Amino acid sequence: MKILVPVKRVLDYNIKARPKADGTGVELAGLKMSMNPFDEIAMEAALRLKEAGQATEIVAVSCGPAANQETLRTALALGADRAVLVQCEGELEPLAVAKLLRAVTLREQPGLVLCGKQAIDDDANQTGQMLSALMGWAQATFASRIELQGASEALVTREIDGGLETLSIRLPAVITTDLRLNEPRYATLPNIMKAKKKPLDTLTPADLGVDTAPHLKLVQVFEPPQRQGGIRVSDVAELVGKLKNEAKVI
C-alpha cells in the first residue's frame, strides 16, 4: 500500500507569533520554520506501517513556496521515499490545499492519506476532512491508534470529548493524527545526507488544474486582549481570603 503524507511548513513550535506592525499578517521574516508537529506524527505513523510491512511506499507532499523543499527534505530524511512539491506563492486556504491534495491523490492513488489533525499556525483543523470529502472517502480524525485490517479496512481509535471512539473505516481513507499516536523519531545525519538524493518532483496548481483563489479576505491580524498578571500571595490563608473576599469566586 502506498501512503501519502501531506506536510506543512510552519513557524517553529517554540517561537511566539507576533502580528506584523501593519496588521497584514504574522511576522515570519528571519524566523525558524519547521514541519508542523502533527505532520511529524503522521509521518512517523506512516514509517511504522512501512516498517511493519503494511505499507510499501511513502510519498510526502507539500503545498507552498519553494522554501517548502526544506520541509520535504526533512520528510525524506525521516524515511519518505519520494516527495512532491506543489509550488505556489501567497496564502493557501485549507480548501485550496485540499483541492491540490485531491489532484495529487488522484495521480498517486495511495491506499491511505495520513496527515496532522491541524497545523499549529492557522489552527484550522480542516484540510484532512476536506480532502476526504472531495475524494468521497471515509475519514477518521484525531487518531490515537491505527490498525490496518488488510488493504480495505482500518480500525482507528479517535480522541473525542469525554473519551475515545473506535471506528472501522473503509480504505482508501484520510486519517488525521492526534498527539498520542506516537512519538516521532529524529532524522539521523546519514539519513539527512541520503535524503538529498531522493526524488523531489515539483508541480504547479496549473499543472494540476486547480484554482486556489481565496474565499476569505484577511481584514486584520492583531494582538488579542492581554491578560495582566496579578499578585503573589504568601500562603494558603491569604489565597483563600482573596478568593472569598476580593475575587468572590468561592
Partner 1 sequence: MTLLVVAEHDNHNLKASVRHVLTAAQALGGEIHVLVAGCGCEAVAEAARALPGVACVRWAEDASLGDGGAENLALLVTRIAREYSHVLAAASAFGKNWAPRAAAQLDVAQISDIVRVDAPDTFTRPIYAGSVWATYRSTDPVKVITVRPTAFDAAPGEGAPAPLERLDAEPGSGLSSRKDLSLSPSERPELESARVVVSGGRGLGSGERFKALLEPLADKLNAALGASRAAVDSGYVPNDYQVGQTGKVVAPDLYIAVGISGAIQHLAGMKSSRVIVAINKDPDAPIFSVADYGLVGDLNEIVPQLTAAL
| Span 103-142, contacts to partner 1 by CB under 8 A | 117-118, 120-127, 129-134, 137-142
Counting contacts by CB under 8 A, is residue 249 touching partner 1?
yes
**Near partner 1 by CB under 8 A, which window of 70-78, 82-90, 103-111, 158-166?**
158-166
Q: Establish if 161 lies at the interface with partner 1 (CB under 8 A).
A: yes
Contacts for 219 with CB less than 8 Å, ≥ 6 apart? none
Helix (H) or strand (E) holding 189: helix 189-195
Residue numbers 194-213 binding partner 1 by CB under 8 A:
none
Q: Which helix (H) or strand (E) holds 3?
A: strand 2-6
Q: How many residues does the chain have?
A: 250
**Cβ atoms of 64 and 7 closer than 8 Å:** no
Phi then psi for residue 79, to 5 deg, are 140, 0
Instruction: Choose which of 52, 190, 220, 245 interacts with partner 1 (CB under 8 A).
Output: 220
Indicate which single residue of 1, 33, 155, 187 sits in contact with partner 1 (rule: CB under 8 A): 155
Rounded CA-CA distance 101/57 in Å is: 17
Binder of partner 1 out of 39, 40, 44, 178 (CB under 8 A): 178
Residues 61-90 that bind partner 1 (CB under 8 A): none
Among 103, 167, 187, 192, binds partner 1 (CB under 8 A): 167
Using CB under 8 A, which of the segments 49-57, 65-73, 104-112, 226-234 binds partner 1?
226-234
User: What is the Cα–Cα distance from 5 to 43, expressed in whole angstroms?
Assistant: 6
Q: Which residues, numbered 27-66, are part of the site for partner 1 (CB under 8 A)? A: 38
Smallest distance from the beta carbon of 174 to partner 1, in angstroms? 10
Cα–Cα distance, 82 to 197 (Å, whole number)? 10
